[in-house]
Amino acid sequence: MNMFSSLMLASLSVLTLPIMSSILNTHKNSTYPHHVKNIISYAFITSLIPTMMFIHSGQETIISNWHWMTIQTLKLSLSFKLDYFSMIFVPVALFVTWSIMEFSLWYMHSDPYITRFFKYLLTFLITMMILVTANNLFQLFIGWEGVGIMSFLLIGWWYGRTDANTAALQAILYNRIGDIGFIMAMAWFLFNANTWDLQQIFMLDPNLTNLPLLGLLLAATGKSAQFGLHPWLPSAMEGPTPVSALLHSSTMVVAGVFLLIRFHPLMENNKTIQSLTLCLGAITTLFTAICALTQNDIKKIIAFSTSSQLGLMIVTIGINQPYLAFLHICTHAFFKAMLFMCSGSIIHSLNDEQDIRKMGGLFNAMPFTTTSLIIGSLALTGMPFLTGFYSKDLIIETANTSYTNAWALLMTLIATSLTAVYSTRIIFFALLGQPRFLPLTTINENNPFLINSIKRLLIGSIFAGFFISNNIYPTTIPEMTMPIYMKLTALTVTILGFTLALELSLITQNLKLEHPTNMFKFSNLLGYYPTIMHRLPPLASLSMGQKSASLLLDSIWLENILPKSISQFQMKTSILISTQKGQIKLYFLSFLITLTLSMLLFNLHE
C-alpha cells in the first residue's frame, strides 16, 4: 500500500483551492495571482512523486470514488484513470501552466481584472485535468465541455473588440460540431456495450466499431482543429498571449488527439478508420503549413504551426503509433508554449505590434527572447537531440518504414520542410535585419517573471525530450534498422527548408513589390476556406428554409393553387369572350315578347 493514489488526488484537489477561496472573498486582493501561481507549482511538485513511482514500478491505478447514479443498467461513478498517459501528461501540463502563469503575471500586469483572468486559467486547468484523468466517457465529456467553455471565455477576454467576440463564437460553433460526433460515440457505446467505462469497452472489444470511431474522429477534428473544422484556431489568436500559449498550443487542442489515443485498443483493429485518420492528418498538416507561409501576424503563424503539428500527431495515430503521438504531445507543449511566450514578449516590447513586417533587428535589442525563439524554432523543426527530435524524428522514421499510404507520407514530408520554411520566416522578419518599428521604443525584457518563466521552458525545450524518452518504459518498439537515406529523411527535408527559406528571403528582400499571385492569395486567405464556408452554407440553408416554408407551403399551396388561379382564369376568359353591351331590360323585354308570341302562335294555330 503506497501513497500513489493519495498523492495524485492531493495534487489534483489542491488545484481547486483558489477557486473555493472565492467564497471567502480572498480573491479580491492583489496577491491572488501569486497564490495561484504558487499553488500550481506545489501541485506540479506533488504530482512528480506519483509519476516517479509509476516510472519505477509501472503501477497503474484506477480510483473509483463516488457512485453518482445508476440509470437502469448504466452505473455512473467518479473514477480517475491514472495510467501511462495521464501520469506523464499531468506533470508536463502543470509545469507548462506554471511557467505560463508566471509569464502572465508580467503580461497581464496592467489589466484591472487580472484576478478573474487567473481564475479562468485555473478553471481551465482543472477541467483539462478532469479530461485527462477520466475513466468513463461521461467524466471525459464534462472535461471536454469545460475546456470548450473556458476557451470561449478566455478568447473573448477583451470583449469590447468585435473580432474577439466573433472568434470566441467561432470556437464554440466548431467545437459543437465535433461534439455531435462525441455524443454519437457515447450513444453507440451505451447501446452496444452498455457502459461508458473505458475498461469494459476495451474488454468487450466490439466488432463493428466504424460508427463510434467515426464519431470520435469527428470530435477530434473539432477540438484539435483538423481540416474541415480548422478556422477557429487562427481566429482564437484574438485572445491574450497566455491564453494562446496555454490553450491553443499545449493543452486544449491536444484533447482531441488525447481522446483518439485513449481509444487506441479499438483503433488498432479498424484499418478503415486508421486510413481515414492518416489522410485527415496529412491534409491538415500540409494545408495549414501552406497557410502559415504567407501570414503576417506572428501569433497566426505560430497558431498554424500548432495546427500543423496536431495534424502530425493525427498522422501518427493513423499509422497505429499512439505512444509516439503521446510523446509528441508532451514534447510539443514545451517548445510551443515557449514560442508563444517569446512572441508575447516581442509584442509587449514593441507596444502591441503583431505584424512581422513591422518588426526587425530584435537580435541585438532583445537577446534573451531571441535566444529562446531560435531554440524553440529549432526544437520545433526537429533539430537533432533537442526536444522535438525525440518525437518528431521517430514519427517520420516510423512513417517511412511502415506499410502506409504513400500520398499521406509525401504530404507529411512536405509539411515537415515547410515547418522549417515558416520558422525561418519568423526568425528572419522578427529578429534579423534592420529595425522596422517606430524609433521610440519600450523594449524591456528585464522582468524576472518573464525571464524565469521562459528560462524554465527553455531548459525543458532542450532537455525534456531526452529526459522523458529515457525514463518511460518501452511500449511499441521503434524501427531499429533502415537504409541511411530513410534515416536522414527528416533532417534532409528540414535543412532543405531552412536553406530555401533563407535564400528566398535574402534574394527577394530588395526586389520591387509585385501584385500577389494566385498561389499567394490562396495561402494568405487560408485557402479561401473561411470565406466560402462562413457565407455559403448559412445563406443556402436560410434561403432554402424560406423558400420551402413560407413560399412553397403558404403562398403556393394554400393561396395560389385553387382560389387565386380560379379567379384569375375566370376574369381573363370573361373579358375575352364577352361582346355584350349590358342592356338588360331590352334583352328581358324581347325575351318576354318572343315568349308571348310563341305561346299565342302555338295555341291559336289549329
Residue 585 vs 605, nearer CB to another protein: 585
Q: How far is the CB of 538 from another protein (least distance, A)?
A: 47
Q: How far is the CB of 583 from another protein (least distance, A)?
A: 7
With CA atoms as reference, report the closest residue to 340 among 54, 104, 52, 2: 104
Residue 68 vs 591, nearer CB to another protein: 591
Full DSSP string of 332-345: HHHHHHHHHHHHHH
Q: How far is the CB of 600 from another protein (least distance, A)?
A: 13
CA distances from 319 to 97, 264, 301, 367, 460 (A): 30, 11, 27, 41, 28
With CA atoms as reference, report the closest residue to 288 among 523, 552, 89: 523
Write out the three cell numbers for 211: 460508427
Residue 556 vs 592, nearer CB to another protein: 592
**Polymer length of the chain:** 606
CA distances from 74 to 67, 71, 237 (A): 11, 5, 41
Give strand pairing partners of 66.
Answer: 78
Residue 421 phi/psi, 5-degree rounding, is -65, -50
Residue 509 vs 565, nearer CB to another protein: 565
Q: How far is the CB of 534 from another protein (least distance, A)?
A: 53
Residue 532 vs 593, nearer CB to another protein: 593
Residues of this chain that interact with another protein (CB under 8 A) are 571, 574-575, 578, 580-585, 588-589, 591-592, 595
Q: How far is the CB of 582 from another protein (least distance, A)?
A: 4
User: Chain-centre distance of CA 513, in angstroms?
Assistant: 35
Q: How far is the CB of 525 from another protein (least distance, A)?
A: 60
Q: How far is the CB of 588 from another protein (least distance, A)?
A: 4
Rg (C-alpha) for the chain, rounded Å, is: 33
* Distance separating the N- and C-terminal Cα atoms of the chain: 138
Q: How far is the CB of 595 from another protein (least distance, A)?
A: 8
User: Mapped to the 3 state alphabet, what secondary structure does 244-284 carry?
Assistant: HHHHHHHHCCHHHHHHHHHCHHHHCCCHHHHHHHHHHHHHH
Residue 512 vs 581, nearer CB to another protein: 581
- The residue written with cell numbers 518511460 in the block is 472
Distance of alpha carbon 154 from alpha carbon 144, whole angstroms: 16
Residue 536 vs 571, nearer CB to another protein: 571
Residue 72 vs 578, nearer CB to another protein: 578
